[in-house]
């Protein structure tokens, strides 16, 4: 089965609340590769590659976020895997 690529921008109170670590931990548990990072506009960007079902599990998790976060919206796009990540990481 071919890997899928998911790109997500998470909108809300998602910086300074442990959101990147929450995403990192969940993505690693699911065996996904890619990155999560804070963007200058206060949103969080996630790019992940792996099995579509596991990516959807990550998406469900980030729509909730950690307890201290408030997720107002997610902007999601899907593609075929065109990126080769070694692991899932937090970018700064």
* Cα–Cα dist 79/67, whole Å: 30
52 catalytically annotated: no
Residue 28 is encoded by which pair of tokens?
Answer: 């690693």
Q: Which residue out of 20, 28, 67, 72 is catalytically annotated?
A: 20
20 catalytically annotated: yes
Q: Which residue out of 38, 52, 67, 89 is catalytically annotated?
A: 38
Burial class (CB in 10 A: 0-12, 13-18, 19+), 27: buried
Active site residues: 20, 38
């Amino acid at each position: 089965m071919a890997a899928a690529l998911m790109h997500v921008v998470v909108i809300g109170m998602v910086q300074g609340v442990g959101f990147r670590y929450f995403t990192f931990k969940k993505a690693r548990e699911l065996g996904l590769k890619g990155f999560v990072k804070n963007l200058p506009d206060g949103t969080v960007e996630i790019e992940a590659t792996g099995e579509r079902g596991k990516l959807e599990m990550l998406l469900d998790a980030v729509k909730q976020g950690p307890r201290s976060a408030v997720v107002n919206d997610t902007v999601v796009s899907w593609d075929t895997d065109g990126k080769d990540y070694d692991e899932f990481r937090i970018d700064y």
